[in-house]
Structure 1
């Protein structure tokens, strides 16, 4: 291999990222006011390229996962990437309007006026995960572009075919001074996170988020973290068990449970345990009568995660834990070739010190704990790190209120799972170990904007009128007296 044929080095990538950041920042400053028309055009180009490349996206993701259903990709990556952009296009002009704010007494009486104007931040860095690699680029990009910013993107190295395709899509839809994408492994990701962006959003694991925050701190870059955690599902005695488990297992088997919002464990009344297990088995059998050769059941992303999930099961088995694979066709998963599928697997009454009860599962395993008194569910959830979501199934309003008000999670969904993420007017984000900040819809526009406070003073000299100028005297004392009044 001669010098001209050498592969790009990390130094080359760092240099290109730095020069692109400077190029985007220069273009942003030169552009000045970013009109609604320009923002809408950029958003529409995102919609157009997703529609144009939708079939290629399904092929790329199927390659990366070895089995990723076309329908899942179109619904959760392509469609879910288009929706926030369309939503932003529809509401952008109203979001951009200055907000009048009340002016304090006595400034308001003499003509003082206050307002907030939302200004673009500049250049935003987007670090996307592998589980929904297209959606997790275009969903935050909707807020970034709606706010009038430029963007640089680092996709996951775990989905190389999809990342390569997105690079083609981004290059077709945008000038590199508007949006640019940088592929590569962990070293490129580390260098990317070290860049002095005006804001950065990271979606991924809590363990990696710590490194992202450390890198961002060097340049005081504000960061939005979208993480995960162990999202609990509380099933009430008032719940319709069959209907509830149908929805729970739909969410748990979607993308083989490789979803930050996936149900991580169930809390069920102890006398309902066998009914819950039977309902889960029935729901899975209806959706997936076969799994191994079923193109509608997603494979685990790679060998590392496949071994991690099987490691949880091996530890539980060694501890004498009951394990219930839901395998309607009685297939032999040890013989699979080319895929890394794990059937939906229930683990009833798991020991609390198992790794599967300490770490986010991110796969089709579902532990089931039981409770006698509903108060036990609140105590158990509160004994754990704060999750991205909490789910409640039932019709008992007192229980529902208790779960919402006495536990802390990024969000709550009642009588379903995962569906809250599709509500564009609801902020999406975690709390504590499950995340920092939020986006989607108006909240996304605000997250990627600077809310600039603007006060216009009246023509009258309010400082003199209020005795705020030396020499101090009676007017000063009158103002002080008013301020100290109970």
Structure 2
């Protein structure tokens, strides 16, 4: 059993910080070896991971786990391993003419100990992708997973124990109170993935020690469908992004903006796409349940509030025989107004509000009137309209003519903006986010700046006059 079971989080931090000082910066070979061993352990435990997540959710498709949790993580590890030599290499920088015999460079060095606070919706990928990025950058890591996925957490901890010693990687389990204690530790960097309200508390706690944070939050990510775009194509992509993992995805489309002339056609196409993807309805093996009764109650409350205030709620797809109560049927909501809770809160379930617009400018204005989303999706082939949307909106990332696939691009940064997050990881940006960019100037044997040392005389006056002419 890992020593973490007998140590308090502050003690583990002290142990890892001491190890970091004592052992120094890990070499390229050590980092690549760590990533390779973790990769091997994850693949060896694939069936156990699928079973653990399925148990925590009540039911989640093993294919979804394989695709969304493990495949993305393996691709991310492979990306980091192959590009680490280039990432770790010092960067040459420009040197002013009068100092040209010297050289300037930026060297990326590990920060020290990185804290990672992971959510429950993708309890392997969103816990371990920040972790492997931190390890690739040469850091120690303390991981605090969500208490809502206990079986997955136990398995992840067991896997990590076989790969890393406690003074390099450790898991801290516990409820929300442990999470707040964790977020107040004096880490060298803290990564939090979760809701915006909790993110505010985490940032406030971290500020007590001036700990820099990366916050991957959520928000209401829109999908805009261009007038006249083939709605069977758009609906199939939206169903995939909206209903995978039962809609419990931070970058899932939260609402759709459809041209007013296309509304009825879209509703029919969306219903057909739901049937095509889930022919057995919510009782099918491929359909993921809502995590627990608490989250189901929140989702049904959103629908009740919207219906009571005048919205129209439409069930989509087939009912399915004997579906579990937490296998929530896909739903579309029409007539949503700003006084409804569903218009303000991130949905995190298989519910899709649909709004109409008349011009693309009106759609852009609708998005811009709300907090900046973690993701934005656009369906359409009109390049001018695409450019208007891209230039006129601010969001984390964008997928055009698809949904959620930007997160699978290893060489793109992933992160939010404003209420949807601070900072980004994945790609070279992730490595640099969890490194210190140390600027180094190495002075040459001759340097023009020596002419500007006291005692000042006519030469200094001429040089200053020339530079400031």
TM-score by length of 2: 0.97
> Could you tell me whether the CA contact under 8 Å between 2:314 and 2:332 is conserved in 1?
yes
**408, 419, 422: which one aligns with 2:405:** 419
> Could you tell me whether the CA contact under 8 Å between 2:284 and 2:320 is conserved in 1?
no
Deviation at residue 353 of structure 1 after TM alignment? 2.1
Cα shift readout 1:408-452 (whole Å, capped 9, x = no counterpart): 001111000100000010000000000000010211111111111
Q: For residues 248 and 461 of structure 1, do their structure 2 counterparts lie closer, same or farther at Cα, with a shift above 3 Å needed? A: closer
Q: Which runs of structure 2 are paired with 1:244-393 in the superposition (5 Å)?
A: 244-329=234-319, 336=324, 340-393=326-379
Deviation at residue 381 of structure 1 after TM alignment? 0.7
**436, 439, 454: which one aligns with 1:450:** 436
Give the 4+ runs in structure 1 shifted more than 3 A: 12-15, 329-333
Deviation at residue 293 of structure 1 after TM alignment? 2.6
Tell me which residue corresponds to 1:107. Answer: 99
Tell me which residue corresponds to 1:478. Answer: 462
Q: For residues 139 and 209 of structure 1, do their structure 2 counterparts lie closer, same or farther at Cα, with a shift above 3 Å needed? A: same
Tell me which residue corresponds to 1:50. Answer: 42
> Could you tell me whether the CA contact under 8 Å between 1:342 and 1:364 is conserved in 2?
yes
Tell me which residue corresponds to 1:9. Answer: none
Deviation at residue 461 of structure 1 after TM alignment? 5.0
> Could you tell me whether the CA contact under 8 Å between 1:127 and 1:154 is conserved in 2?
yes
Cα shift readout 1:4-58 (whole Å, capped 9, x = no counterpart): xxxxxxxx98952112111111111122232100000111121111111111111
Larger deviation, residues 419-428 vs 285-294:
285-294
2-side partners of 1:483 and 1:408: how far apart?
A: 40
Tell me which residue corresponds to 2:187. Answer: 197
Tell me which residue corresponds to 1:72. Answer: 64
> Could you tell me whether the CA contact under 8 Å between 1:14 and 1:191 is conserved in 2?
no
The total of aligned residue pairs comes to: 466
Tell me which residue corresponds to 1:7. Answer: none
Deviation at residue 332 of structure 1 after TM alignment? 7.2
1-side partners of 2:467 and 2:289: how far apart?
A: 66
1-side partners of 2:277 and 2:416: how far apart?
A: 30
- Give the aligned CA root-mean-square deviation in angstroms: 1.5
Cα shift readout 1:221-247 (whole Å, capped 9, x = no counterpart): 110000110001110014211111101
Q: For residues 461 and 280 of structure 1, do their structure 2 counterparts lie closer, same or farther at Cα, with a shift above 3 Å needed? A: closer
Unaligned runs of 5+ in 1: 1-11
> Could you tell me whether the CA contact under 8 Å between 1:13 and 1:188 is conserved in 2?
no
Unaligned runs of 5+ in 2: none
SS in 2 for 1:323: strand
Tell me which residue corresponds to 2:453. Answer: 469
2-side partners of 1:42 and 1:251: how far apart?
A: 33
